[in-house]
Chain A
Amino acid sequence: MQQDTLVEINDLKQYFAIEKGIFNRKVGEIKAVNGVSLKIKQRETLGLVGESGCGKSTLGRAVLRLQEPTAGDIYFNQEDEKVSVLELNNRDMRKVRANMQMIFQDPFSSLNERMTVMDNIIEPLVVNNIGDKASRKKRAGDLLEQVGLRREYLSRYPHSFSGGQRQRVGIARALSIKPQFIVADEPVSALDVSVQAQILNLLKKLQKEMDLTFLFISHDLGVIRYVSDRIAVMYMGNIVEIGEREELLRNPYHPYTEALLSAVPRPGQRRNRIVLEGSTPDPINLPSGCIFRTRCPYAEKKCAEQKPEWENVEGEHFAACHFKDSLELKGIKNRKRA
């Protein structure tokens, strides 16, 4: 079956100014997202992984235009029409936004404490003027059951719920207007392992039932593997590698992916990993050439002189590394128990 592209991101940039002093003089820029190109296919889950501060959340927010990106284009395929998201006026944006939702990491701050569970869930319907009172109530109840909570909870307030229950309510809320595309930003990171597994299974079930497309952000490679069809690896505002899940994990092309994989703890693996030298570079003064070269164990002269090309591939496995075709990197197949 041919999978069509739902979201296309071209050379997206999101910079933040750093200001100092009483006159807010601009002294530099954080290039949180620095030229990202990606295609997300209908009904797939694209996993986005990378270290803290690499720009995952910023990218997720920019794609939904919750923040106005500095540069680049975003296309969204709505009813077979390719719309250029960043060029939409407020009214048309509202229509597109009803198709894109976000699930947040923190189940404690993402719900409105002063509203009942029901009002939290139907808020997107109210904002978008969808349905009447009765139909909204029915939908909220149905959704609550779909995410594994009881209909009676509709009249309760969020404070009496556990983290896992709140996250379920947050998911019901995101689904209320039947979006096609969801950015899930670390939706299980704050949860205990068994609750985390329950939520991951729930998201997979809902994806099948409702034909959802996910951009799924996490720093946990195990979680990313479990939910994703394809995986994109991010480093310092750039996507450095993308590919089909097992293919990328077993046979990484980028040295950063290799280092990330080797750092994941597992029994008997001690002292067998690539400990990256130094820390992530200063986001204000990015290195020349390849963004990873200051920590890359395979870096050569060319890496400082030239930035490796990025191709906006669809489906294939691709890495932004000068030596992607010649390096023999270790993936998960080489990990064994001692």
Chain B
Amino acid sequence: MNKDDNILEMKNLKTHFFTDRGTVKAVDGVNLNVKKGKTLGVIGESGCGKSVTAHSILRLIPSPPGQIVDGSINYQQKDNKIIDLGKLDARGDTIRNIRGNEISMIFQEPMTSFGPQYTIGHQIMEAIMIHNPEMAEEEAKNKTIYLLDQVGIPKAEERVDSYPHEFSGGMLQRAMIAMALSCSPRLLIADEPTTALDVTVEAQILELLEELQDETGMSIIIITHNLAVVSEVADQIAVMYLGREVEFADSDQIIDNPLHPYTRGLWNSIPSLDGELKELKPVKGTVPDPINIPAGCPFADRCPEMIAGVCDQGNPPDKIEVEEGHYVRCFLYTE
């Protein structure tokens, strides 16, 4: 059962893809919690399983080839009832009701979220009216304009009648954020919400998300490879590597005191604007193919602190609690 202040608890979640090339263990034992009214940041390099984790929550994994093969995704509903989203029928009414009503998602690919044949405004209004059948069309349109304006679309009252192809990539991304917010979700999953945007626009969007969180108490999962964004907006941070979280803690803990060698490598890769200019010392090599995950710690072949005979033999235990609430998967922290 969930701790009371967690809206979502993922335990040992495994989502695999059964392909001709072999089994892709895209998510292979993830443990993550999202607190009510708080923001969880998920970071990690391309292909580590961030989007697959997010899609698993909403049961949007294409099947075949994908399947949730193990673990649970416990979600605490409005009435405090807890349901395991992983066990629901992916095409059933329950998950469809939750999707877009209680949990909504900003997708990494903005182009795919809007159909080409209707105006942006029409599509957002539609979403609003599905969830508020009693709302008048006029009111839904006003709300749409308000939302577009909030996400920084200039001249929203005119642009509401534009078609998707008349928007730039950055504008589409903002429109999608407006759509995701239109149902006032309890949990918002934002997959790379600001990647296509300039810093000044990104700043506006992050500010908007924080304001909404203060007003409505919604929880947020923000997925990104931009460490600066995460460190600013997240209350807690999970670092993923090859389908698992390798470190999970409060933002301050993980920023000031990173424990996992991979997290340290990431931190040493960011060219910072603060303090003295330091030489970057990135992790060597590249992420292995998730079909051929090596035996032992998946990070061992790139790890500067690898303990021969230990790290390359077995898997490090999950969830070693090094300080309160600060978890890591690494043999350096076993007795």
| Residues in chain A within 8 A of chain B (CB atoms) | 51-52, 162, 164-165, 192-198, 200-201, 219-223, 225-226, 246, 249, 259-261, 263-271, 273, 275-276, 278-279, 332, 335, 337
Contacts and interface: CB of A to CB of B under 8 A. Distances in A.
Contacts of B270: 193, 197, 222
Contact of B280 (A165, A226, A261, A266): A226
Interface residues of B, number: 42
A226 B281 CA distance: 12
B1 interface: no
Contacts of A265: 199, 202-203, 206, 226, 228-229, 231-233
B269 A197 contact: yes
Interface in B67-124: none
A337 B273 CA distance: 12
B266 A194 contact: yes
Contact of B286 (A195, A200, A268): A195
Given A265-B202, A269-B232, A275-B200, A221 B273 contact: yes
B282 A201 contact: yes
B210 interface: yes
A295 to B, nearest CB: 9
B157 interface: no
A108 B266 CA distance: 24
Contacts of A164: 286
Nearest to A220: B271
Interface of B: 45-46, 152, 154, 170, 198-200, 202-204, 206-207, 210, 225-229, 231-233, 251-252, 255, 265-266, 268-274, 277, 279-284, 286
Contacts of A200: 271, 280
6 contacts: A197-B281, A225-B273, A259-B200, A264-B199, A265-B202, A279-B152
Contacts of B277: 225-226, 246
B202 A194 contact: no
A5 B270 CA distance: 31
Contact of A249 (B273, B280, B281): B273
Contacts of A249: 273
B269 A196 contact: yes
A260 B200 contact: yes
Nearest to B170: A52
Given A194-B265, A263-B199, A162 B273 contact: no
A270 B228 CA distance: 12
Nearest to A282: B154
A263 B229 contact: no
A335 B271 contact: no
Contacts, number: 115
Contacts of B203: 263, 265, 273, 275
Nearest to B194: A265
B280 A263 contact: no
Contacts of B207: 270-271, 275
A260 B204 CA distance: 12
Contacts of B228: 222, 264-266
Contacts of A197: 268-271, 280-282
Nearest to B279: A201
A213 B170 CA distance: 33
Contacts of A194: 45, 265-266, 269, 282-283
A221 B200 CA distance: 12
A22 B232 CA distance: 51
Nearest to B234: A267
A278 B154 contact: yes
Given A192-B46, A194-B269, A278-B154, 4 more contacts: A192-B45, A263-B203, A266-B228, A267-B252
B272 A51 contact: no
Of B198, B210, B279, most A-chain CB atoms within 10 Å: B198
A332 B274 CA distance: 6
Nearest to B278: A226
A36 B196 CA distance: 27
A248 to B, nearest CB: 12
Nearest to B231: A267
Nearest to A198: B282
Contacts of B229: 265
A273 B201 CA distance: 12
A264 B225 CA distance: 15
Contacts of B210: 270-271
Of B233, B265, B271, most A-chain CB atoms within 10 Å: B271
Nearest to B47: A192
A246 B274 CA distance: 11
A335 B279 CA distance: 20
Contacts of A266: 228, 231-232, 273-274
Nearest to B255: A267
Nearest to A52: B198
A183 B200 CA distance: 25
B7 to A, nearest CB: 22
A309 to B, nearest CB: 26
A264 B198 contact: no
Contacts of A220: 271
B305 to A, nearest CB: 16
Contacts of B274: 266, 332, 335, 337
B334 to A, nearest CB: 25
Contacts of A261: 273
A63 B46 CA distance: 34
A264 B199 CA distance: 6
Nearest to A337: B274
B273 A222 contact: yes
